[in-house]
């Protein structure tokens, strides 16, 4: 299985380098309209088995003006409410000087305010995505490996 | 966010709200038949059931372009947006 060896922040939380773009279904629209470039970011994200979903600081994608097609609905009394929006992003996990990368062509990612992660990271990878792989965290030896089929 | 003890209600585009209402009305039935799939709603009607978000977004953009449409995964609604407050630095 391909795998990546992850880094850690100062609190021993695993970090992964993520290249994000609009999801594959959205990319032709960017290619067809000036400046005819698919926007991207490349930032460190936290890997968090305690979060159910994936999140990104909103300033990273605000200028992309993605449509709000995926409201995050939550149960509240009799009527569900919209707690935020997720956006379909293509995500590639890749670590410096490592060969493998894990690519997701279109994954729902919610937004949090800019600076939410205090500069340590710019987003978070949660269980909805991690459950498709194998995460091996070895605290005593200070290693964390992410593998996928 | 497991955080979201102070949940905010966002203003929603009326067309999108119509699709949300239609989705919620049909959610129980969809769960019994299409759990884990992705659905597209437009003009307050179920348009298509897809097996991935990528497929649903492709169909949605192909059929509706920049017009309002809704994509949702068929699953029970959560009682809160699930996010670890401990992840905040």
Minimum CA–CA partner of A81 in chain B: B9
What integer pLDDT is reported at residue B83 of this predicted model? 56
Instruction: Give CA–CA dist A20/A40, Å, rounded.
Output: 5
Please name the member of A69, A74, A107 whose beta carbon is closest to the beta carbon of B71: A69
Torsion A15-A21-A22-A24 (CA) sign? negative
Burial A89-110 (b: 16+ CB within 10 A, else e): bbbbbbbeeeeeebebbbbbbb
Concatenated DSSP letters for B19-38?
A: HHHHHHHHHHHHHHHHTT-E
Please check the confidence at residue B84 and state whether its pLDDT lies above 70: no
Minimum CA–CA partner of A107 in chain B: B53
pLDDT in tens, B4-63: 444 456 778 899 999 999 999 999 999 999 999 999 999 999 999 999 999 999 999 999
Q: Quick check: pTM over 0.80?
A: yes
What integer pLDDT is reported at residue B86 of this predicted model? 41
Domains in chain B: how many in total?
Answer: 1
Instruction: Give CA–CA dist B53/B71, Å, rounded.
Output: 8
Asked if A82 lies within 8 A of B9 by C-beta distance, the reply is: yes
What integer pLDDT is reported at residue B12 of this predicted model? 86
What integer pLDDT is reported at residue B82 of this predicted model? 56
- Structural domain including B79 reads 4-87
**Interface probe, candidates A14, A66, A69, chain B, greatest B C-beta count within 10 A:** A69
What integer pLDDT is reported at residue A75 of this predicted model? 82
- Nearest Cα to Cα of residue B16 among B69, B77, B73, B74: B69
Tell me whether B42 touches chain A (CB under 8 Å). no
Q: Which CATH code fits A3-147?
A: 2.40.70.10
Q: What is the mean pLDDT of residues A129-147?
A: 96
Q: Å from A25 to nearest chain B CA?
A: 5
What integer pLDDT is reported at residue B80 of this predicted model? 65
Please check the confidence at residue B88 and state whether its pLDDT lies above 80: no
Instruction: Give CA–CA dist B18/B7, Å, rounded.
Output: 22
User: What's the mean pLDDT when you consider all of chain A?
Assistant: 95
Asked if A73 lies within 8 A of B24 by C-beta distance, the reply is: yes
pLDDT in tens, A3-48: 999 999 999 999 999 999 999 999 999 999 999 999 999 999 999 9
The three-state secondary structure class of A31 is: helix
pLDDT in tens, A81-106: 898 999 999 999 999 999 999 999 99
What is the domain partition of chain A in residue ranges?
A: 3-147
Overall residue count recorded for chain B in this entry: 89
ipTM: 0.83
Tell me whether B31 touches chain A (CB under 8 Å). no
């Amino acid at each position: 299985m391909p795998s990546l060896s992850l880094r850690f922040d100062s609190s021993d939380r695993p970090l992964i380098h993520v290249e994000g773009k609009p999801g594959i279904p959205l990319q032709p629209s960017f290619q067809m309209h000036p400046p005819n470039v698919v926007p991207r970011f490349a930032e460190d994200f936290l890997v968090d088995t305690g979060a159910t979903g994936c999140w990104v600081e909103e300033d990273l994608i605000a200028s992309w003006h993605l449509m709000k097609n995926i409201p995050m609905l939550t149960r509240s009394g009799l009527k569900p409410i919209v707690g935020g929006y997720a956006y379909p992003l293509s995500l590639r996990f890749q670590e410096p000087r490592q060969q493998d990368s894990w690519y997701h062509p279109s994954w729902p990612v919610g937004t949090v305010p800019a600076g939410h992660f205090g500069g340590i990271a710019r987003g978070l990878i949660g269980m909805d995505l991690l459950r498709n792989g194998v995460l091996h965290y070895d605290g005593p030896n200070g290693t964390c490996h992410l593998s996928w089929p | 966010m497991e955080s979201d003890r102070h949940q905010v209600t966002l203003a929603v585009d009326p067309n999108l709200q119509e699709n949300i209402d239609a989705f919620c009305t049909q959610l129980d039935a969809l769960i019994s038949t299409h759990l884990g799939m992705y659905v597209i709603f437009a003009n307050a009607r179920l348009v298509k059931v897809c097996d991935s978000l990528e497929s649903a977004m492709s169909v949605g953009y192909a059929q509706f372009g920049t017009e309002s449409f809704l994509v949702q995964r068929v699953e029970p609604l959560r009682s809160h947006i699930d996010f670890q407050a401990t992840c905040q630095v």
